[in-house]
Amino acid sequence: MNFFLRYFTEYNNMSGWTTVETLYVIWLFVQFQYRYLHKVDGAIGEIGVHRGKLTSYLYLMRHRNKQQKLFAVDVFARKSLNIDASGDGDRNEFLQNIKHYANVSADELIIYEGSSLDLNSLLSNNNEAQRFWSKKLGEKSCQLVSIDGGHTNLLTYSDLCLISSSLVDGGIVMADDIDNPEWLGVRDGVAQFLAETSVVFSENHDPELAVALNKRLTRPNFNLSCRIVEATRKITNIKPECPRLIPVLHYANKLYLATPNYYPHYIEFLNKLNDKGTRCIRYDTLRSTAGNVPIWSDSRKKRPEIFDQIVKPLWLAELVKATQ
Ligand SMILES: C[S@@+](CC[C@H](N)C(=O)[O-])C[C@H]1O[C@@H](n2cnc3c(N)ncnc32)[C@H](O)[C@@H]1O
């Protein structure tokens, strides 16, 4: 059974909000992590799984050595904890879907049923939940995480802090609904996280770099990116429990963030992709919603048609070949 084929064949019948463009980007990041960074054993999971549409795909991305832990966090039936009514998690349907689409059963999973806020020791006194989480997951163990639970400012901020403290160096976190005007809490939560963990870049930090960035001629290559990381580093991190992450890509309503040491690697990787004709990802300076560092960003006007006509057919062919 090719579970990828099943997933894509039945994709439109599943309840959820994931786009195929997001699946494409996740595939790119995962291939980069496995093939170039040789990171193959960090946990994969999602906060806010709903019925498992995106989670199934994330689990399908598990390296074939099957060393990676898989996790899911959702309030599920405890609806009163879903304070902004984002989605409608259902544990049974979730478990059925991940079995059907990713061949993962409940006993292979770390599941926390409750608010993700419980897991954050900075913001909650739920010691039992926090002990459960750290015992099951271990320290610095996550490699690929989707944050798509409660969409308020506080929950987004809390989830980013929680995952930043659990991420392996080189891991990737994605925050959903960064562009959605109905869920502005996400943007605010991300902005708060970035403001607390990074310095906003200004000319005084590195005048030469400022000239290069202002000209917008220079692509954010590896060396330039290293300088950006250094120039925007906070001298003292007031919350060491909440380490820094830097946005690398803003694409199809999601913001992807990396650990500072690997920000230059991811930027360089996306740079090369762009050269290969993946034109839907282009360099842009990040708007004020997410700090003040260069990242890759989609060209919204052109993205859908370029994606459907050029990128998607090539990618699906590659994916089918790789997963046969
Ligand atoms: C937008 S849906 C997730 C969609 C899913 N990621 C997908 O792509 O199909 C949001 C989910 O977050 C869950 N949720 C809401 N508040 C939460 C919280 N505080 N902690 C954990 N999960 C929460 C909801 O139950 C719902 O399943």
Examine the pLDDT at 162 and tell me if it is beyond 70.
yes
The amino acid sitting at 243 is: P
Nearest CA to ligand 1 atom 1: 87
> How many angstroms is it from 149 CA to the middle of ligand 1?
4
Residue ranges of domains in the chain? 3-322
| Main-chain phi, psi angles of 98, to 5 degrees | -70, -25
Question: How much of the chain, in percent, has pLDDT values that exceed 70?
Answer: 89
Ligand 1 binding pocket, CB closer than 6 Å: 16-18, 46-50, 53-54, 73-75, 81-82, 86-89, 115-117, 148-150, 155
pLDDT given at position 301: 62
Closest CA to 162 of 185, 187, 127, 193: 193
Measured from the Cα of 89, ligand 1's closest atom is 27
Measured from the Cα of 52, ligand 1's closest atom is 9
Instruction: Report yes or no: 245 and 175 within 8 Å, Cβ to Cβ.
Output: no
> How many angstroms is it from 128 CA to the middle of ligand 1?
21
pLDDT bracket for residue 9 (50, 70, 90)? very high
pLDDT given at position 300: 62
- Give the pLDDT confidence of 126-148 residue by residue, as tens digits: 999 999 999 999 888 999 999 99
Measured from the Cα of 146, ligand 1's closest atom is 6
> How many angstroms is it from 114 CA to the middle of ligand 1?
11
pLDDT bracket for residue 320 (50, 70, 90)? confident
Measured from the Cα of 177, ligand 1's closest atom is 1
How wide is the angle at C-alpha 286 spanned by C-alphas 283 and 289, nearest 5°? 155
CATH class of 3-322: alpha beta
The winner for highest mean pLDDT among 17-21, 268-272, 297-301 is 17-21
Nearest CA to ligand 1 atom 4: 50
Angle between helices 53-60 and 3-10 (to 10 degrees): 160
Instruction: Report yes or no: 293 and 247 within 8 Å, Cβ to Cβ.
Output: yes
Distance CA 303, CA 279 (A): 8
Average pLDDT over residues 159-178: 96
- Give the pLDDT confidence of 20-60 residue by residue, as tens digits: 989 999 999 999 999 999 999 999 999 999 999 999 999 99
- For the chain, the maximum distance between any two Cα atoms, rounded to a whole number of angstroms, is 58
Mutate to test the pocket of ligand 1, among 82, 92, 126, 159 (most ligand atoms within 8 A of CB): 82
Proportion of the chain in helix, strand, coil states, percent, rounded to 5 = 50, 15, 35
pLDDT given at position 102: 97
155 Cβ contact list (under 8 Å, min separation 6): 84, 115, 116, 117, 149, 185, 189
Examine the pLDDT at 291 and tell me if it is beyond 80.
no
Q: What is the mean pLDDT of the chain?
A: 88
- Give the pLDDT confidence of 199-246 residue by residue, as tens digits: 877 778 788 887 777 665 556 788 888 988 888 888 887 788 899 999
Nearest CA to ligand 1 atom 25: 89
Nearest CA to ligand 1 atom 18: 115
